[in-house]
Structure 1
Amino acid sequence: MTHASVRAAVFSAGSWGTAMAKVLADAGSSVVVHARRPEIADGINTTRRNPGYFPDVELPSNLTATTDPAAALAGADFLVLSIPAQSLRTSLAAWAPHIGPGTVVVSLMKGIEQHSGLRASQVITEVTGLPEHRVAVLSGPNLAREIMAGQPAAATVACPDEDAARRFQQACHTPYFRPYTSADVIGCELGGAVKNVIALAVGIATGMGLGDNATAMLITRGLAEATRLAAAMGADPATLAGLAGVGDLVATCSSPLSRNRTFGTHLGKGMSVKEATAATRQTTEGVKSAAAVLELARAHGVEMPITDVISALLHEQVTLDQAAAALMQRPPKPER
């Protein structure tokens, strides 16, 4: 397969899906974006812009769009999924019959499915029946707006099949986007899911005006939580020290472009969960995944105090002041 002959189908046309579609196209791949709304597909095809998310950014000519999932998947080497984690199961069930016999599915999702506690890659294999070696994940410090502007970024492509990981690495390698490969799917997915919950905590602290020391504390101890859970579930702890772990955590907790941090800031300023949801407008994976991450932690005997407090706050079981006090009044212990 030559580089120029790679065909990628990106589902769907939200902010991160559009950004990854642009990366793939800039790397020389032929890209078809599946959009739910006809006006988005029409806008991409006629104006070379996504009118719903990035009306100010011109898209490459080798990137087109359709509302037909079968047409998008025809001949695709890669199916790249960028949809809300909680709607993955239902949406993928409708698309699965169109997945070709050699297509590798790549998840960009950073959430844990509620009720089942499954990671996105596990939902994909369960729904499609595909073997694990045909499912990859991409994770890292990837703020969509910066990538659309061509600013430098990197990510980790994880797959049990090293060849599949390398092929996708080549398909999305551009002068501004540098992908690395890994076999640690579990570590990459858990790093991405947990960092969203920690970013909510950082946003809350920011909204409450608690200062940079509090932010640094939450990022550091949040990384410890993610690493403990990942190790308990069979991941390599070193993965959490890389792009899919601390890299993603720092970007999401530090940037005002982060949905999860922004949502948390709204909460920290006194908004209710409902009000923060309306103000944020886009999917905030940490809000949906917090309880599911906490259930995973309990099932594996892992202590995750920040996640515990954030989950309780999101379910209105504690107040803001009670949440802040709960984090600071825990018994002192050795750092690990």
Structure 2
Amino acid sequence: MAKKVCVLVAGSWGTALAMVLADNGHEVRLWARGEEQVREINEQRENSRFLPGIKLPEGLHATSSMEEAVKGAEAVIIVSPSKAMREVARALKPFWREDMLCVHATKGMELETLKRMSTIIAEELDCDEQKIGVICGPSHAEEVARRRPTTIVVASANEEEAQHAQNLLMNAYFRVYTNRDVLGAELAGAFKNIIALGAGMSDGLEYGDNAKAALLTRGLAEITRVGAEMGANPLTFSGLAGVGDLVVTATSRHSRNWRAGYMLGQGKPLPEVLDSMGMVVEGIRTTEAAHTISQKYKVQMPIAEQLYHVLFEGLDPRTAVEALMGRGPKTEMEMMSQETWEQWHT
């Protein structure tokens, strides 16, 4: 049965999700800020800035009016850059209804407060945070828009709402699982961008496959460790939201985080890297947030720490790698504190 669904905003991932919904026969309203982008989507059936060469389905209609986008919608999917999430959620508030399904698909944190996106949305909508779900997992927008087989997860504290989102999105090329661990899904989605930056940097330095494999493996241990200390289920980091998203983000040229890291590894300064990207690189903001989080929770994040020094203190990437390789001997199983270990094994 067709539903009306609105998607905020019309970036690459938001547009790709809007295409999935339209392919499923739903009436889709895609909110965009600029009238020129709205006209291009509605008249030329293309979003050339974010998904060039992709023809958009007829069931997708763009609008710059938040009221038009949201009115009568059964569900809203927010796909905003993390730094704009409060602004978008605030604009949604006058048209928000308690009976609407609300999920977001943003992989980042608010730098100033270290809050997750579901917390920010709940604060701005003045609703219970447990009503806010998250879409995550290995999902390049470019491949979803070309209808390549993709598998994601919808995390929600409310199983019925997770299943609702699952039913809206799932089709022959877009498989959807559910998960109850919203905290773990959001942390995994944000922190994996840090490791993807490091993987790109390793490739830019031409360190080879051995180095990248080690970086991904130890990076997964690192983000699992801090996630568990913050209260997430460690198993979430072994699933689609964790290792799945980490692999796709850290190994593909579609990944903005990988591309940014690659350019840094080639010796390009951060301002030049950001200017050349043209889109948000969430891993850079998240690296700064992780630097504070590791101190707050007293959890070692050596990869994130060295990337912080490279990004914000001008450390040479080769020196950062030498610092990681020169750390004292460890056992591989040093994953989390004894208290957290007991919490998840009793």
- Shorter-chain TM-score: which interval? over 0.9
- Aligned residue type for 1:36: R
Pairing 1:243–2:250 present: no
- Aligned residue type for 1:68: S
Partner of 2:320: 323
Tell me, what secondary structure is at the counterpart of 2:133? strand
Assess if the C-alpha contact under 8 Å between 1:113 and 1:119 holds in 2.
yes
Assess if the C-alpha contact under 8 Å between 1:73 and 1:100 holds in 2.
no
Pairing 1:226–2:223 present: yes
Partner of 2:64: 67
Assess if the C-alpha contact under 8 Å between 1:12 and 1:35 holds in 2.
yes
Distance 1:246 1:181 in 2: 16
Tell me, what secondary structure is at the counterpart of 1:157? strand
Match of 2:145 among 145, 148, 151: 148
1:199-249 CA distance string (max 9 Å, x none): 000000100001111110110011001111111111111111000000000
Unaligned segments of structure 2, at least 5 residues: 334-346
Distance 1:45 1:94 in 2: 22
Partner of 1:169: 166
TM-score computed with the length of structure 2 as normaliser? 0.94
Pairing 1:53–2:50 present: yes
CA drift at 1:152: 0.6
TM-score computed with the length of structure 1 as normaliser? 0.97
Match of 2:303 among 303, 306, 309: 306
Name the count of aligned residue pairs.
Answer: 333
Partner of 1:186: 183
Partner of 2:32: 35
CA drift at 1:144: 0.7
Distance 2:4 2:329 in 1: 54
Q: Compute the RMSD of aligned alpha carbons.
A: 1.1
CA drift at 1:291: 1.1
Tell me, what secondary structure is at the counterpart of 2:172? coil
Q: Runs of 4 or more off by more than 6 Å in structure 1?
A: none
Partner of 1:89: 86
CA drift at 1:85: 0.2
Distance 1:52 1:267 in 2: 24
Partner of 1:195: 192
Distance 1:91 1:18 in 2: 16
Unaligned segments of structure 1, at least 5 residues: none
1:132-170 CA distance string (max 9 Å, x none): 232000000000111111101111100111000000000
Assess if the C-alpha contact under 8 Å between 1:112 and 1:293 holds in 2.
no
Distance 1:183 1:297 in 2: 25
- Aligned residue type for 1:253: A
Distance 1:32 1:316 in 2: 43
The share of aligned pairs that are identical, in percent, is 39
Assess if the C-alpha contact under 8 Å between 1:263 and 1:277 holds in 2.
yes
Partner of 1:269: 266
Assess if the C-alpha contact under 8 Å between 1:158 and 1:184 holds in 2.
yes
Partner of 2:103: 106
CA drift at 1:40: 1.1
Partner of 1:22: 19
